[in-house]
Amino acid sequence: MTTDSPRRSRLLMPIFATTIFTSAFLLFQVQPLISKFILPWFGGSPAVWSTCMLFFQVTLFAGYVYAHLTTQHLSPRWQAGLHIVLLLAAVFLLPITPDDSWKPDGSSSPAFRIVALLTMCVGLPYFILSSTGPLLQRWFSLQAPGVSPYRLYALSNIGSLLALISFPFVFEPVLASPAQASIWSWGFRAFAIFCAACACRMFRMKNIDMLAQTAAEAEAAASENSQPPSWADRATWFGLAMVASVMLLATTNQVCMDVATVPFLWILPLTLYLMSFILCFDADRWYSRKWYLALLGATFLGVLKTLLSGTEVSILIQVSVYLSAMFCCCMVCHGELAQQKPSTRYLTQFFLLMSAGGAGGGLFVGLLAPNAFPAYWELHIGIVACLLITLLVLFRDRTSYLYKGQPRPAWMMIGLWVSLIAWSLQCHARDGVKAAIEVSRNFYGVLQVRDQTDDDDTTKHRRGMFHGSILHGTQFLAEDKKDLPTTYYGKKSGVGLVMQHHRAGHARRVGVVGLGVGTLAAYGQKDDYIRFYEINSEVIRMADQYFTFLKNSESQTEMVLGDARLSLEHEERQNYDILVLDAFSGDAIPTHLLTREAALLYKQNLRDDGILCIHISNLHFDLRPVVQGLANDIGMHSACVQAMPDEDQGTNLCHWMLLSKQPIPEDIVARAEKINEPAESELLWTDEWSNLLSVLR
C-alpha cells in the first residue's frame, strides 16, 4: 500500500459511501412503491407481488452479471465510460410513474403485462442500481489499494434495510403513490450525479490501469494455493440461494392469500429475508447450526399444524408461524452459504450463483408453479427442498457430525422424520384437490368445484365453488331447490331484500362486482338487465359450466371481463338501480375497491334512488367502520343488515352494508332480521392510504 493510500481512502470514502447507501436505499424502496402503484390495476391479487419480485430478482442477477463481466473484461476507464452512458440513459427515462396506457384490458396475460410494464418504467434504473454495490466496491478497492471495501458492503445492507422499514411506516402513510414515485425519481437523479462523480475519478487517475493489473496479480497470487470450487460446490450455492428465495415468495403468497395484498405484508417477509442475509454474512457468531436446525424442525412442524387446521387458526398466529419458519429457513440457507465462501478469487462467481439462485426461486414461484401445479404447493415444496438441501450440506461438510452418512442410526432417524414431514405435506396437498370435480389455477388464484354430499338428506346436497379455502357460492343439487339463492345471498340477506323489493315490478339495471357462481341471477326478473364484472375468466367458465343460476335466470345477463373499477372508469355512466360489491378473494381484501375514489365512482353510476350493496362478511376484519366512513364522506345514507344462517335454505351468517343517496327504503329495513348499530368509529380509506390493521378483529 502506498503512503498516501490512507489519505486517499479518507477522501474517497464519503462519496463512495453516499453513492452505495443511496443506491441500496433506492433499490429496495422502489420494489414496494411500484408494486403498490400497479396493484389495483391487476385486481389486488397476491400474484402481482410474486410477479414483481420475479422481475426484481432477475434484474438483480443481470446487474451482478454486468458488474462481473465489465470488471473482468474491460479496463477501468471503459467501465466508467460505459456506466456513465447507462446512467444518462436511465435519467432520461425518468420519472418511473407508469402511464395509464399500461392498465390491463382483460385480453393480455397479467404476468406478461406486469413484466413488460416494469421493464419499460423501472427496468434500466433498477438494473443500474443492482450493479452499483459490486461495481463501486471494485472501483474503491482499485483507487484505495489495501483498504477493505467491505465497510461499503455493510453500509449497503443498512441502506436496504432502512428502505424496507421506512416504506410502510414513513413514506406510505404520509405520501401519495405519485408523490413517492416523483421523490424516488429525484433521488435517482441525485444518485446518478454521485455515481458519475465516482466514475470520473477513474478517468483522472493516470495509473488506474496499472493499479488494476497489480490488483489482479495480487488476487491471483493470494489464491494460488486455494482449492477451486467444484461443480458440487457451485450447485450447492445455487440450491441454497434458490430454496431461500422460494420460501420467501411462497410464504408471502400464503400470508397474502388469507389476509390482504398490501405492502406491509410484502415487506415483512422481505425484511426478515434481508436480515438473515445481513446477520449470516456479518459474522459467524450470528448463525449456530445446531440451534437453527432445531428451530427449523420446530417451526416446520408448526407450519404443518397450521396448514392442517386451516381457517380455525387466527390470522396473527398463522402469520407468526409462517414467518418464523421462513426466517429459520433463510438463516440456515444463508448461514451455510456464508460458511462456504470461497477465496476472493472466486468471490464474484460465488455472488453470481447466489443471485442466480434467487432469480431461479422467482422463476419457480412466479412462472413455473402457476402453470405446473393445480394448487398452491410452493410452500410444501419449499419446506421439503429446504430439508433435503440441509441434509446434503451436512452430508458433504467434513466438520459435520453427519458427514458422509455417518452414524447410520442418526441418518435413519432423520430420514424417517423428514419422510413423515414430506408425506404429511403431500397428503395435505393431495386432500386439497382430490375431492374436487375440477381444479383450476391461474394468475388470480386456485378455484375448485366440489359437491357437498356427506349428509344422508339428498335435499341438502349442494355444489360449491371455492377460492382457496373460502366458499364463493353454492347451489342445491335437488331439482326443486336449484334456483334457491344460498350462502350469503339468501332472501333475508341485505342484498336479497334489495333484489326482491327495490323497484320490484319495474325493469331494473343491476351491476354486480364479482360473479361467484352467479347466485344473484336467481333474483332476476323478466325485464331486468344484470351486468356482472369479473376479473377471472375461470370463474366465468366454471359458473357457466357447473352451475345453472345464469342459464335459468329470467333476466338478461352480461359478463364484463376485467377489474370492475377499471371497467367502470372506462364505461359511460350506467345508471344502476342496484350495484352489488362482492369481489373479495377469500379473506384477502382488494382495498382499492373500498377507497373514497372507488366509492365516488360507484355513486356516479347509481340512479338517484339506487342502492349500493357491499358485502362485508369477513373472518378476520370488521369492515363496517370503513364502509360507514365512505358513506359519510360521499354523502350517502347507510344501514348494516345482518342475516342469520338457515340450514334448510343453505344460507350463512352474513353482513351487508346498504348505501343510498336517499334514505334506505322502509320496506327493506322493516323486513331485515337485524339492523346492526353504527360502528363506534369511522375510517376513510383512499387510494393513497389504507390500513387493514386498524380493522383487525
575 shares its domain with 546: yes
User: Which one has a higher pLDDT value, 211 or 186?
Assistant: 186
Q: Which of 283, 66, 330 is nearest to 154 (CA)?
A: 283
The b/e string for 70-86 (b: 16+ C-beta within 10 A; e otherwise) is: bbeeeebeebbeebbeb
What mean pLDDT comes out for the span 65-77?
A: 84
pLDDT, residue 206, reads 57
pLDDT number for residue 585:
44
Question: What CATH number did the domain enclosing 563 receive?
Answer: 3.40.50.150
Nearest to 447 by CA among 457, 456, 458, 436: 436
Query: Do 566 and 689 fall into the same domain?
Result: yes
- 431, 411 contact by CB (below 8 A): no
Does some domain include residue 449? Answer: no
Residues 493, 373, single domain; the answer is: no
With the CA atoms of 628, 629, 632 and 636 taken in that order, what torsion angle do they form, in degrees rounded to the nearest 10? -50
Helix (H) or strand (E) holding 662: none
Please give the residue range of the domain that contains residue 50. Answer: 1-217
Are 378 and 414 contained in the same domain? yes
Q: Is 474 part of a structural domain of the chain?
A: no
- Among 166, 184, 217, the domain-final residue is 217
Q: Is it the case that residue 345 has pLDDT exceeding 70?
A: no
| Residue 534 and residue 577 in one domain | yes
Answer yes or no: is pLDDT of 149 > 70: no
Same domain, 309 and 186: no
**Range of lowest pLDDT (42-46, 84-88, 422-426, 447-451):** 42-46
Residue 219 CB neighbours (<10 A) = 14
- Residues 236 and 203 occupy one common structural domain: no
Assigned domain for 224 exists: no
Angle between helices 76-92 and 177-204 (to 10 degrees): 160
Return all residues near 216 (Cβ < 8 A) that are at least 6 apart. none
For range 230-244, the mean pLDDT: 92
| More confident call, 201 vs 482 | 482
In a domain, 65, yes or no: yes
Taking residues 98-127, report their average pLDDT: 84
Question: Among 637, 569, 576, 625, which Cα is nearest to 597's?
Answer: 569
Q: Which helix (H) or strand (E) holds 674?
A: strand 674-676
CA dist 466 and 585 (Å) reads 10
Evaluate whether residue 586 is within a structural domain: yes
Let me know whether 192 and 304 are in one domain: no
Domain annotation covers residue 494: yes
**Please, are residues 584 and 618 in contact by the beta-carbon 8 Å criterion?**
yes
Query: Are 593 and 664 in the same domain?
Result: yes
Task: Say if residue 3's pLDDT is above 50.
Answer: no
The DSSP secondary-structure symbol of 99 reads P
Q: Are residues 635 and 552 in the same domain?
A: yes
288 domain residue, yes or no: yes
Whether 262 is covered by a domain: the verdict is: yes
- The CATH number for 25's domain is 1.20.1250.20
Distance CA 10, CA 662 (A): 71
pLDDT value at 480 more than 50: yes
Give residue 1's pLDDT: 42
**SS3 call for 646:** strand
Place of cell 327493506: 668
Q: For the domain that residue 322 is a member of, what is the CATH number?
A: 1.20.1250
Q: Does one domain contain both 288 and 178?
A: no
Is the predicted pLDDT of residue 208 greater than 60, yes or no? no
Q: Which DSSP helix (H) or strand (E) runs through 580?
A: strand 576-581
User: Percent of the chain, pLDDT > 90?
Assistant: 34
pLDDT higher than threshold 80 for residue 140:
no
Q: What is the mean pLDDT of the chain?
A: 84
Query: What is the spatial order of strands in the sheet that 606-615 belongs to?
Result: 556-561, 529-534, 509-513, 576-581, 606-615, 654-660, 637-643, 674-676
Residues listed for the chain:
697
* Residue 2 confidence class, pLDDT cut points 50, 70, 90: very low
Number of domains in the chain: 3
422 and 556 together in one domain: no
Residue 416 pLDDT > 50? yes
Write down the pLDDT at residue 604. Answer: 94
Of the two residues 226 and 610, the one the predictor is more confident about is 610
